Structure 1
Amino acid sequence: MALIVVALNLRPAIVAMSPLLDEVRSATGLTSTAAGLLTTLPVLCFGLFAPVAPRLARKAGMEASPLVVLVVLLAGVGLRLAGSVTALFAGTFLVGVAIAMGNVLLPGIIKRDFPHKAGLMTGLYSMALFGGAALAAGLTVPVQHAASLGWRPALALWGVLAVIAVLCWAPQLSTEHRDMAPSHPVRAVRGLWREPLAWYVALFMGFQSLNYYTATAWLPAIFTAHGMSAGQAGWMLSLSSILGIVSSLAGPVLAGRTRSQGWLAVVAAVLCCAGLAGMMAAPVTGAWVWMVLLGLGQGVAISVSLALIVLRAPDARHAAQLSSMAQCVGYLLAALGPLVLGAVHDATHDWTTALTVLAALLVPQTLFGVLAGRDRYVGRHERQAAAQGPVRHTDAEVEWASIGADADGTR
């Protein structure tokens, strides 16, 4: 339960910005492109700072590391209360760094503590991500209006959820878990960055994340541009996240029962495309329908992308390396989405064109999902090199390999 509460904190501090984005732009004078950068910055941090998580786990230990993540998250949320644009961006940067480390650490803890229930726990973890996003999207503006708050305090309110998570996780410090780092030398994975299959998994992760974070950043602004109130626009985004909770639990279950998962990538893309097409045709009139379709599609896509990391890896060692690669490459690609869509809107002053671009990006998402969904394992280059004898590995390679170790230090 404590792990799920921590996972609930990995989206609200980002998503809460979306329904307030128009107010933030008006108060600060930010352009659409600059506002897109504000929503892109955390996702960029996801990719850049994912490699920090294994080092944190080794230095602080797997039980203390989530507390460090939550403290950094609280620091970022608090910094955004300051009255300058610089502080707003700096606080958002810290939020992104914290969540980047949490994104890597929590799946590792699931591998260690729930080795025989990894599929179920991955589904619950995905549900927690969508649940936190739904809470932030739906409650930020209503709570702001009910309490007569400015946009800065409304953003800071989500620090309360982080405090609750600290209280829930603190007892874990007294548990007797062995650290994830093994006590013997670790053989690191070789050649993963040269394998097409690993790139397919990483790029599917990237394009589905790009779709999700771009839609999350701009959909409320699109709704309000067509006459919807900010509060109702936030609830539309919340509805999308709620439906994502349902499909994100079903995705890993279905993925684990079939030899190939490419068909799930196709289903996800069709649902998302239908939702985006509806947004272009009748954004307000059919808003509920479009958000249901988009939420279901996004939930399937994100949960399948997480499941593919496990399914395409022959063991925990490869899963850890593939996870780090997929999150690094994937989130760096996803970070471009909100910024590009904001720039397209600035250039055309038309949300239909921007949504068309977003829908077109579902084509490579589907392609890489189908290629990543084929029933095979990564590790081909390592098997080819096995006959060449032992090699020397860097500390960084050993850290990445050790993050996937089981509780007893074996593979």
Structure 2
Amino acid sequence: MPLTPPRQKMAGRIGALLGILLMALSLRAAVVSVPPLLGSIGPELGFDSFSTGLLAMLAPIVFAAFGLLTPRLIRWWGLEKILITAVLLAITGQLLRAAVGDVASFLLLSVITLAGYGMGNVVLPPLVKKYFPDRLAIVTSGYVTMLAVGTWMSPQFSVPLANATNWRSSIAAWALLSAIVLVPWTIQIFKDRKHPRPDTPLVNGMVAAPPAKINPWRSPVAWGLAIFLAGNSAQTYVYFTWLPPYLASQGLDTMTAGSMLALFAILGLPVSLLVPLWVPRLRNPIIAVLVFTSFWITGHLGLYLSPTQGTAIWVVFAGLGQGTFAIALLMMNLRSRTTYGSGVLSGFSQGLGYAGAAIVPMLFGMVKDATGGWSASFAMLGICIAVMLTGAVMINGPRKIEDGPDDAGVRRPLERVG
């Protein structure tokens, strides 16, 4: 009979919980706080179309690079040291780029900032698995919700902050949110030194040692999750990049088009709360994937066929489709047995997934310019759906990243989560 990890007292893990939630809240600040301010930043620093496009591509590219690098760093340094390093990089990059006077320096410091957040993306799932193996569902629900709140909060308040001060103060202010992350983790690390905890779950009262090496390049689970994440993220990046320009081109005013993007972003909240509590109860997670995929498809078709009639309804459907992203984050723990395995799966899937997604928003615009219309570009979203579903099929079974080629379909202990 499968075992569940023994319930542990929350006392002694409060610092880790606060640190995970605050880190999740700050992860998207550097990505989504700058675009609303480009009207002020661009003329002062000299941004042109090329450099603006390059800035838009930096996040997925840097996330991809550090997604692949971070698992090796985790093996050398450990999760907590990597997280502290990530936060320090993010703080440094955000503060320094607020003081520069040219585009090249701004882009370089943006890379440093995004490198920190890229490492943070990777370490969050294994940190949840390490500190809360008995409460994976509820803690994952909390941190994915904080990701959604941060995605909405940064663009919502960046412009008012800039109006009250200036754009430099506005983008530097988000470094304070990152700095706060250091407080609970400093407390937690101090506690862990006094009372060390195992990096992996307990099986029959004994620590299950992680495998000496996991090769994600030969793992169907890792490839499946990477493909799934690529198809999902490509659609999300297209919406964040192109939804306002597309709606404006169809006759909506700029303010309404911007409001539709805010609506799309905030709808990540309800699905972030629901998915981690629902999906672990399903024997076949692809059922949930199909539900949220139907939302994506309805939103895509509605916006293409009737962009100015019922616009908010179509955006709501597409926004609810973001549940597939919450599923991807949850699967990093459901498809691994150990903290180390979760880190490897997180890094590999996010690395290749973001790399695959990075090019799609650029192609979306290039195809539109080449064809003179939006039909072929929207057809690309259909390809993204097919890619995402292909990955969903590959991760639907009970196989874990630690499993060898002969282990497919074998159910082992610790597969139920709280």
State the TM-score, normalizing by the size of structure 1.
Answer: 0.80
Equivalent residue, structure 2, for 1:290: 314
Equivalent residue, structure 2, for 1:77: 94
Provide closer, same or farther for how the CA distance between residues 350 and 74 of structure 1 changes in structure 2, counting only shifts above 3 A: farther
Equivalent residue, structure 2, for 1:19: 36
- Equivalent AA in structure 1 for residue 89 of structure 2: V
- Written as runs of structure 1 = structure 2, the 5 A alignment for 1:1-400 is 1-20=18-37, 28-31=46-49, 34-54=51-71, 56-57=73-74, 62-81=79-98, 82-145=100-163, 147=164, 149-150=166-167, 152-177=168-193, 178=196, 187-190=211-214, 192-226=216-250, 232-298=256-322, 300-348=323-371, 350-351=373-374, 353-381=376-404, 383=406
Provide closer, same or farther for how the CA distance between residues 96 and 255 of structure 1 changes in structure 2, counting only shifts above 3 A: same
1:335 is paired with a residue whose SS is: helix
CA–CA separation in structure 1 for the residues paired with 2:19 and 2:392? 32
Question: 1:13 Cα shift?
Answer: 1.1
Q: Which shifted more, 44-53 or 255-264?
A: 44-53
Q: Which shifted more, 94-103 or 346-355?
A: 346-355
Provide closer, same or farther for how the CA distance between residues 96 and 225 of structure 1 changes in structure 2, counting only shifts above 3 A: farther
| Deviation string, structure 1 residues 347-377 (Cα, Å, up to 9, x no partner) | 3464554344234321221232133223444
CA–CA separation in structure 1 for the residues paired with 2:93 and 2:394? 38
Question: 1:189 Cα shift?
Answer: 4.3
Equivalent residue, structure 2, for 1:392: none
Provide closer, same or farther for how the CA distance between residues 379 and 162 of structure 1 changes in structure 2, counting only shifts above 3 A: closer
Question: 1:52 Cα shift?
Answer: 3.8
Equivalent residue, structure 2, for 1:397: none
- 2:71 touches 2:343 (CA, 8 Å); kept in 1? no
Provide closer, same or farther for how the CA distance between residues 229 and 172 of structure 1 changes in structure 2, counting only shifts above 3 A: farther
Q: Which shifted more, 252-261 or 188-197?
A: 188-197
Q: Which shifted more, 208-217 or 311-320?
A: 311-320
CA–CA separation in structure 1 for the residues paired with 2:285 and 2:208? 36
Question: 1:343 Cα shift?
Answer: 2.9
Question: 1:174 Cα shift?
Answer: 2.4
- 1:226 touches 1:284 (CA, 8 Å); kept in 2? yes
- Equivalent AA in structure 2 for residue 11 of structure 1: R
Q: Which shifted more, 197-206 or 97-106?
A: 197-206
Provide closer, same or farther for how the CA distance between residues 141 and 275 of structure 1 changes in structure 2, counting only shifts above 3 A: farther
- 2:63 touches 2:115 (CA, 8 Å); kept in 1? yes
Question: 1:62 Cα shift?
Answer: 3.8
Structure 2 residues without counterparts, runs of 5 or longer: 1-17, 201-206, 408-413
CA–CA separation in structure 2 for the residues paired with 1:231 and 1:180? 52
Structure 1 residues without counterparts, runs of 5 or longer: 385-405, 407-411
CA–CA separation in structure 2 for the residues paired with 1:331 and 1:196? 18
State the TM-score, normalizing by the size of structure 2.
Answer: 0.79
- Equivalent AA in structure 2 for residue 108 of structure 1: P
Question: 1:56 Cα shift?
Answer: 4.7
| Deviation string, structure 1 residues 285-332 (Cα, Å, up to 9, x no partner) | 53322332122111x101111222333335545433322321222121
CA–CA separation in structure 2 for the residues paired with 1:133 and 1:339? 21
Task: Provide the aligned length of Structure 1 versus Structure 2.
Answer: 381
- 2:67 touches 2:348 (CA, 8 Å); kept in 1? no
2:397 is paired with a residue whose SS is: coil
- 1:262 touches 1:370 (CA, 8 Å); kept in 2? yes
- 2:125 touches 2:333 (CA, 8 Å); kept in 1? no
CA–CA separation in structure 1 for the residues paired with 2:198 and 2:74? 8
Question: 1:181 Cα shift?
Answer: 6.5
CA–CA separation in structure 2 for the residues paired with 1:124 and 1:85? 37
- 2:234 touches 2:357 (CA, 8 Å); kept in 1? yes
- Equivalent AA in structure 2 for residue 305 of structure 1: A
- Equivalent AA in structure 1 for residue 188 of structure 2: Q
- 1:126 touches 1:303 (CA, 8 Å); kept in 2? yes
Identity %: 28
| Deviation string, structure 1 residues 249-300 (Cα, Å, up to 9, x no partner) | 21122211111111222222221122222322344553322332122111x1
CA–CA separation in structure 2 for the residues paired with 1:252 and 1:215? 24
- 2:70 touches 2:347 (CA, 8 Å); kept in 1? no
CA–CA separation in structure 2 for the residues paired with 1:318 and 1:101? 16
Q: Which shifted more, 43-52 or 179-188?
A: 179-188
Provide closer, same or farther for how the CA distance between residues 64 and 341 of structure 1 changes in structure 2, counting only shifts above 3 A: same
Question: 1:101 Cα shift?
Answer: 0.7
